[in-house]
Structure 1
Amino acid sequence: MDQSWGRPANEPGAGWAVVDVETSGFRPGQARVVSIAALALGDDGNVEHSLYSLLNPGVDPGPTHVHGLTAEMLAGQPRFGDIVGDLVELLRGRTLVAHNVGFDYSFLAAEAELVGAELPVDTVMCTVELTRRLDLGTDNLRLETLAAHWGITQMKPHDALDDAMVLAQILKPVLFRARERRVWLPVHPVTRRRWPNGAVTHDELRPFKAVASRLPCPYLNPGRYVEGRPLVQGMRVALSAEVIRTHEELVERIVHAGLSYTDNIDLETSLIICNDPAPEHGKGYQANELGVPLVRDDEFMRHLGSVVGGTGIEEFADATLAGDQFALF
Structure 2
Amino acid sequence: MRHTLSRSYAAPGSGTLEAMKSDPYIALTVQATGIHPASARLISIDALTFDESGKVHRAEHFVINPETDPGPKHVHGLSPEEIAAAPTFDKVLKRLGSLIDGRTLVVHNAPRTWGLIRSEAKRVMSAAAHRNRRRRRQAPQRVGHVPTPLKIIDTLASARRQGIRLADTRIGGVAHALGVPSPSPVATVERAARPAADVARERSDILLAIFLALKSGKLASYLPEDLVPDRFGLQRSAIRVQAAKARRYHNPGRFEDVLKQGMEVVVAPEIEVDPDKIIQACRDLKLNYSEKLTRETSLVVCNQRDELRGKAMHAQRKGIPLVRDVDFLAAAGRLN
TM range (shorter): 0.5 to 0.7
Contact persistence 1:17–1:90 (CA under 8 A) = yes
One-letter amino acid matched to 2:85? G
Contact persistence 1:132–1:141 (CA under 8 A) = no
**Deviation readout 1:132-155 (Å, 9 max, x if unpaired):** 122234423321122234232338
Alignment RMSD, CA only?
Answer: 4.6
Contact persistence 2:66–2:88 (CA under 8 A) = yes
Q: Tell me the equivalent position of 1:153.
A: 182
Q: Rg: which structure is higher? A: 1
Contact persistence 2:32–2:41 (CA under 8 A) = yes
One-letter amino acid matched to 1:205? Q
**Deviation readout 1:131-182 (Å, 9 max, x if unpaired):** 1122234423321122234232338598433222211121111113x1xxxx
* 2-structure distance, mates of 1:44, 1:298: 37
C-alpha distance 140-75 of structure 1, shift in aligned 2 (>3 A): closer
Q: Tell me the equivalent position of 2:258.
A: none
* 2-structure distance, mates of 1:247, 1:86: 36
Pairwise mapping of residues 211-226 of structure 1 onto structure 2 (< 5 A)? Answer: none
Q: Tell me the equivalent position of 1:104.
A: 113
Q: CA deviation at 1:208?
A: 6.8
Q: Tell me the equivalent position of 1:264.
A: 287
Aligned counterpart for 2:146 among listed residues 88, 98, 119? 119
* 2-structure distance, mates of 1:91, 1:174: 21
* 2-structure distance, mates of 1:201, 1:62: 23
* 2-structure distance, mates of 1:244, 1:106: 18
Do structure 1's residue 19 and structure 2's residue 28 form an aligned pair?
Answer: yes
One-letter amino acid matched to 1:126? D
Report SS of the residue matched to 1:206.
Answer: strand
Q: Tell me the equivalent position of 1:6.
A: none
Report SS of the residue matched to 1:128.
Answer: helix
Q: Tell me the equivalent position of 2:4.
A: none
* 1-structure distance, mates of 2:224, 2:232: 11
Aligned counterpart for 2:87 among listed residues 74, 78, 85? 78
One-letter amino acid matched to 2:240? A
C-alpha distance 208-44 of structure 1, shift in aligned 2 (>3 A): farther
Pairwise mapping of residues 158-307 of structure 1 onto structure 2 (< 5 A)? Answer: 159-176=199-216, 178=217, 183=218, 185-191=219-225, 202=232, 205-206=235-236, 210=240, 246=271, 248-249=273-274, 251-252=276-277, 262=285, 264=287
* 2-structure distance, mates of 1:17, 1:281: 41
Q: Tell me the equivalent position of 1:326.
A: none
Q: Tell me the equivalent position of 1:66.
A: 75
* 2-structure distance, mates of 1:241, 1:102: 18
Do structure 1's residue 35 and structure 2's residue 44 form an aligned pair?
Answer: yes
* TM-score, with structure 2 as normaliser: 0.54
Contact persistence 1:37–1:51 (CA under 8 A) = yes
Unmatched runs of 5 consecutive residues or more in structure 1 = 1-13, 215-237, 266-272, 285-293, 301-329
* 2-structure distance, mates of 1:29, 1:203: 4
* TM-score, with structure 1 as normaliser: 0.55
* 2-structure distance, mates of 1:103, 1:207: 13
Q: Tell me the equivalent position of 1:228.
A: none
**Deviation readout 1:212-235 (Å, 9 max, x if unpaired):** 859xxxxxxxxxxxxxxxxxxxxx
Q: CA deviation at 1:47?
A: 2.5
Contact persistence 1:124–1:189 (CA under 8 A) = yes
Contact persistence 1:124–1:187 (CA under 8 A) = yes
* 2-structure distance, mates of 1:242, 1:251: 10
C-alpha distance 101-77 of structure 1, shift in aligned 2 (>3 A): same
One-letter amino acid matched to 1:119? V
